[in-house]
Structure 1
Amino acid sequence: MNSIRKQGVPLVDWFKAIRIHHWPKNLLIFLPALTGHLIGLEKFSILLALFFSLSFVASGLYLMNDLLDIENDKKHPTKKLRVIASGNLSTKNTKAISLLLIAIGLLSSFATSFYAGILIFLYIVLVSAYSMRIKRTPFFEAIFLTLGYILRIAIGVLAVDTGVSQWLMLFSFFFFFFLVLVKRHTELLLYKNTHEDDPTGRGYSITDINLIQSFSVTSAFLSLLVFGLYISSPKVQALYTSPDYLWAVALLGLFWCINVMVLVQKGKMHNDPIVFAFTNKTSLAIFFMSIFFIVLSL
């Protein structure tokens, strides 16, 4: 704390650097228990503890990634404003906080669930490989990021032994692949409007915009197709008393995906679609309407 005060760095800069606003992504570990209708006080306690463990690890990895990418971020139209790229935080203190957060998160995860701890360790390996090498490989890096979301869901599966739902995994892969590509599409459009050269430190080119758009649209509709097939499956008939209400959720999902695509094309999309989903009024309205129809279907 003294080192922070000496350098005149406000705590709010540290909160920005560790990306607390990204912690809602880690709520995905609750998804297997919720969709399987297996949530209870004991399971909730385990998942809550792992949520904080994973969030600490993720925050530490964000800091590490920012340190590795600091030179490229300085040349980026928006990332140059990040507290590390702008020079507001020292690299020495950032490294120390990064390692501390990762250590606390990993050790606490093993203390909560050994198998979940193994997956969180694999998550660290996955993200580290991405930061050091994979992120420079176009499209493959998007698959890698998508696997990070899938791994979050798998942590929830192993933590409370819910069993693996192939429907959930397949839907999640296509849906989060769509969101990752939306992020890339947004970044490239921003770069196109502010720079003449291609983005630095990434394997993507401005000429990839149309290809990314095609893949993202396809992935969005594949996720909705999987959800529709899931609604029609015998498993849903056993889990829900009125499963037809879930079709309303599918339609809301379709509207949300189309809305996201339109905003991207107009250049009005947040540079992180996950953050957008938790802050945009239309997204929140769709979320609560979906919850309403899910409750009706139970």
Structure 2
Amino acid sequence: MNLRPPLVVDLDGTLVRTDMLHESVFRVLRDNPFYALCIPYWLSRGKAVLKLKLANCTGFDPSSLPYNHDLLDWLKLQRAQGRKLILCTASDRSIATTISEHLDIFEEVIASDGIANLAGKHKAEVLVQRFGHAGFDYAGNSRDDFAVWQCARRGVIVNASEYVVNKSRNCCEVEQVFLSPVLGFTAWRRVLRAHQWLKNLLLFVPFFAAHQITNLDTWFALVLAFFSFSLCASSVYIVNDLLDLESDRQHSRKRHRPFASGLVSAWMGVVLVPLLLLSSLGLAQYVGGTFAPWLLFYFVLTCAYSWVLKRLMLVDCLTLAMLYTLRIVAGAAAASMALSFWLLAFSVFLFLSLAFVKRYAELELQLLNGKQKMHGRGYLTSDAPLVQTLGITSGFAAVLVLALYLNSDAVVQLYRTPEFVWGTVPVMLFWISWMWMKAHRGEMHDDPLIFALKDKSSLLAGLTFTIVLAIGSVGWPW
């Protein structure tokens, strides 16, 4: 007979590396943004009412949550040894019950019920009334759990700060400690998606295309614009990650992102977004020109993409192409240059092709996983051949625009040996064909620009493209 007292397990931040209240808010903002206007009213009626209303507004997939697998394995071992496990949480009962049924290791669920918010001292009172003082062991993670540990026989400390670990030892005997992951430089770099800042080098394209590389004032303005745009982009990436948690968790690679995996708490992202955006706008003021309005337009359009447009078939790819092209437009604004029609047309078709590459790669991945529809998108996996056709056509249209540009008077004015610049056409034909060939073989990263920056053939094509342009600009050295 097992004489050990029941083990009561907290949910938010303990069993799962996230907070279900935060997740419910993000799902409402994403799926039913008008309900967000009701949140202050629901909160005025009590936190338990807020949790109940949010739980009723949205659903979730319990299998995709970022569980603390070290704790979960230990709990399964405890249950196998005959120990009674109880899930006790401040989250709404409907959420707790769904998770409990999915895991199938808990014998009982104690949770908030729309009337009482089961947190802190109230949780302690309920557990003492149910099991008696020191009649249970408790697994928790935060300062709110101190009141519960003071009433428990033993404590299990999970994913807690060093302060909570040390303080909890004064409350009760600690049976087990599950350390929280360390948030180092790499984690914060991934939160900001700093590797995506490479895309913002597109800001310099109009500058180089106009052959103005000796203008030091413009260099300074563009460097400021680069960091301003990068901080703005990072703020939007965080918004996108928070709104797209469930879809990311169903993706083989994106499920490892800091917010989707629970490595970084969602509230940290909420704090970071305004800080990054304000820093971005502050830098934009020093850039001058019409850069700041274009930056704001990029931010608004990206937010619209995250909330709505990414779920609309074809509109999502057109929007992605616009977002890439906006970097070039903003670069021209920062450099106070007129934007060439040829550059704009070339950019739109090229980035539209890359947007279709991105979608095609994702559709192929979903098809390999036996799914008929992309989660959170408007595509069926059967749409992949048509998406491929649209993308290849767009890419070759970009090459056609490039060829027509090379026959214009602007080339004669900008290049000393314009006949050599024609060498860019076969290079672009190769690269577009190469990208689509890799996508067709299932070897494409879901971000084609990141793929290109790591792919040796793409880098060689880029180097060749640059050399050809350089020769066209300065002529042969002999």
Secondary structure at 1:99's aligned position in 2?
Answer: helix
> In 2, are the aligned partners of 1:116 and 1:159 still within 8 Å (CA)?
yes
Corresponding position: 1:171 with 2:326: no
Q: 1:160 aligns with which of 331, 335, 339?
A: 335
1:32 aligns with 2:206: yes
Query: Following the alignment from structure 1 to structure 2, what is the Cα–Cα distance between the partners of residues 102 and 194?
Result: 37
TM-score (norm 1): 0.96
Q: What is the alpha-carbon distance in structure 1 between the residues aligned to residue 412 and residue 286 of structure 2?
A: 38
Do structure 1's residue 87 and structure 2's residue 262 form an aligned pair? Answer: yes
Matched, 1:56 2:223: no
CA–CA separation in structure 1 for the residues paired with 2:317 and 2:285: 28
User: In structure 1, what is the Cα distance between the partners aligned to 2:200 and 2:285?
Assistant: 17
Q: Give the distance between the partners of 2:194 and 2:187, measured in 1 at CA.
A: 11
Greater shift, 74-83 or 116-125, is seen at 74-83
Q: In structure 1, list runs of 5 or more residues that go unmatched.
A: none
Letter in 1 for 2:328: I
Q: 1:292 Cα shift?
A: 1.1
Task: Return the alpha-carbon distance in structure 2 between the equivalents of residues 30 and 102 of structure 1.
Answer: 21
Is contact 1:77-1:191 (8 Å) kept? no
Aligned equivalents of 2:331, 2:248: Cα separation in 1 = 33
Which amino acid is the alignment partner of residue 304 of structure 2?
A
Greater per-residue strand proportion: 2
- Kept after mapping to 2: 8 A contact 1:137/1:203: yes
Residue 95 (structure 1) shift: 1.3
The CA deviation at 1:5 is 7.5
Match of 2:412 among 214, 218, 237: 237
Aligned to 1:134: 309
Q: Distance in 2 between matches of 1:117 and 1:5?
A: 40
Pairing 1:63-102 to 2, within 5 Å after superposition? 63-102=238-277
Give 1:88 shift.
Answer: 0.7
Unaligned runs of 5+ in 2: 1-159, 163-179, 474-478
Kept in 1, the 8 Å contact 2:289–2:336? The answer is: no
Instruction: Report the counterpart of residue 319 of structure 2 in structure 1.
Output: 144
| Structure 1 ranges of 4+ moved more than 4 A | 4-7
Residue by residue, what CA displacement relative to the aligned partner does 1:4-37 show, whole Å, maximum 9, x if unpaired?
Answer: 9865322211111211111111111111111111
Q: What amino acid maps onto 2:428 in structure 1?
A: G
Paired residues, number: 295
Per-residue deviation, residues 75-105 of structure 1 (Å, max 9, x unmatched): 2232212121111110001111122111101
String of CA shifts for 1:223-256, please: whole Å, max 9, x gaps.
Answer: 0000000011111011111111112111111111
**Percent identity between the two aligned chains:** 34
Shift in Å at residue 110 of structure 1? 2.0
Match of 1:44 among 207, 214, 219: 219
Higher normalized helix content (fraction of residues): 1
Show the counterpart of 2:356.
Answer: 181
Give distance in 1, aligned partners of 2:303 and 2:201: 21
SS of equivalent to 1:85: helix
Equivalent-residue separation in structure 2 for 1:215 and 1:61 (angstroms): 28
Q: Secondary structure at the match of 1:38?
A: coil
Flag the structure with larger Rg: 2
The aligned amino acid for 2:197 is W
Q: Which residue of 2 aligns with 1:276?
A: 451
Aligned residue number for residue 187 of structure 2: 13
Superposed, 1:194-273 pairs within 5 Å as 194-273=369-448
More relative contact order in 1 or in 2 (CA 8 Å, sep 6+)?
Answer: 1
